[in-house]
Amino acid sequence: MTRKLHPATKPQRAIDPGVEPRAKRRRGYEDRDAPAGKVALGVAGFLGLLAAGVALPALAIPALDRALPLRAARTDRPVFPHASLPPLLADPVAHRRKLEAETEARLGAARIRRAAARVERKGLEP
């Protein structure tokens, strides 16, 4: 079930499908919702804006980079000097030995040996 057309609607096709409108016969084609020339102009304008939006920054950024003296500021001391260090230890064996020596000095070597022997006997489960 469809609604009736609004009284101000101008149908593109004839009410009787067997009869072609006089204007269509005169032009040789039926009107569309939008003229093809205007649609092509709109698409070309959009593509032109898109190309300009990509090309303008691509050309302007290197020119601005050369024109402004920002390179000296970029090569200065980093704000977070430790952020650029690698996450891995440079000498893990020496670091482990140092950590073990500090732990033995704090807890005592005898206690650590007893705890290690207990873990070997019983395992890690309590």
How far, in Å, CA of 60 to CA of 84, rounded?
A: 30
Query: Would you state the pLDDT for residue 20?
Result: 67
Note the pTM of the prediction, 2 decimals: 0.34
Report the alpha-carbon angle 6-17-20, nearest 5. 95
Query: Would you state the pLDDT for residue 92?
Result: 79
Query: Would you state the pLDDT for residue 107?
Result: 82
Picking from 6, 10, 30, the residue whose alpha carbon sits closest to that of residue 20 is 30
Q: Which residues of the chain have pLDDT under 50?
A: none
Query: Would you state the pLDDT for residue 45?
Result: 97
How far, in Å, CA of 95 to CA of 86, rounded?
A: 15
Enumerate the domain spans of the chain.
Answer: 35-70, 93-126
